[in-house]
Structure 1
Amino acid sequence: MNPELLIGRLEAFAYQLRNLVKDLPKDQARWRPAEGGLSVLEIVGHLCDRELLEFRPRLELTLRDPEKSWPRVEPDDGLEELNYNERELDREAERFQRERLKSVQWLRNLGAANWTSTHEHPKKGPVRAGDLLVSWASHDAHMMRAIAHRSFDLSQRDAPGFNSDYVGGWEGEPRP
C-alpha cells in the first residue's frame, strides 16, 4: 500500500468536490429523483458527517487503540432529521473542504503508521487501518459517482420528450 498516494487523493477530493458543486442552483442541489436517492446537497452533507464521525475517528482509534470500540455511525441514520436539504450547499462544501484538509494534515503528521493495526468490527470482522484508508478514498469515488448520477438525472428531468441515447444511458460505461 502506498499511503501517500491515497492521502494525496483525499486531499485532491477536498478541492474537486467544491468545484463539482459550485454554482449549482439551490433547486437542483436539493432535488431528489422520484425513485429515490440523495440530493447533491444530501450527498455533500453525508460526506461532511462521514469525515467527522466515521473515517477520521475510526482510523485514529484503530491506530492508537484498536481494541477500543468505534463510535457508532449507521449509514443514512436519521437522514431526514439531519435536514441536509435545508442547509446551504456552498457552506457544506466549504465545511467538508476545511475538515478534509484537517484530516489530510493529521494523516501526514502520523509518520510511520502501522497500517496493519486491526480493529475487530462486530459485523465486518477484522478491519485494518490500511483498509480504512483505502475505504476512505474509495468512498470519495462513490460519492463523486453519486453526484455525477444526480447530474445525469437532472439532465433527463429537464428534457422531457427527449433522450440521451446519443451518448448512452446511465447503465454501463459511458462512451467517450
Structure 2
Amino acid sequence: MFDYRTIPPVGQNDEMACWAACLCWWLRAVRDGRPSWTQNQIIVEYDKHTASDGGFDPLTLMEVLQKDTRLKISCGVFKSSTYRFRGLPIGDLPVLIAYNHPQAGTHMNVIFGQIGRTVTAMEPYFPYPGKNGKRTGTFIDRSADFFIEKSPNIILAWPTVVFRSNNNAN
C-alpha cells in the first residue's frame, strides 16, 4: 500500500480555502491522468462558483467537481449517524471529506489509511490560526467521531473508478 504521507501536505492560503488546498493535495495523491494544479490554479479555475468570501457551499462544490470530467471524481452525501460505531465508507485511496468541524464550522480534509475507526487526515488549516499564505498543512490521525460529532451529514468525494472492457476477449 502506498504511503500517502510521503506527499507533502498543503496549507490553505486563507481561512476559506480549505477546499482548494484539499483538492490540490488529493490531485497529487490520486493522479491517474488528473490535472496537477496548484492551490492558486484551483482557486482561479473554480472562483466563479464560490461565495464572495472565497468559501464554497458544500453541495455546490460537490456538483461542480462531479461535472468537471478532468477530475474523474464521484461524490455523495452520507448520514453521519450510520457511522457512529463503524469506520467511514472509504477504500484504499484518499477521499475528500466535508464536515462540520467541532470548533470551526464547515471544513474539509482529505482522509486515507483507515484502521478500525481511525483515519489519517491531511489537515490544511495548520498551524492554527497561522497566517494567510504561511500555513503548511499537516497529517493528523483522527477518529471517525471527529468528523461525525457535529455533522448530521458528511460529504465524501473519491476517485471515480473507470471500468475498461477488453474488446479483444472472446
Structure number, greater radius of gyration: 1
TM exceeds 0.5?
Answer: no
Superposition TM-score, scaled by structure 2 size: 0.27
Higher helix share: 1
Higher strand share: 2
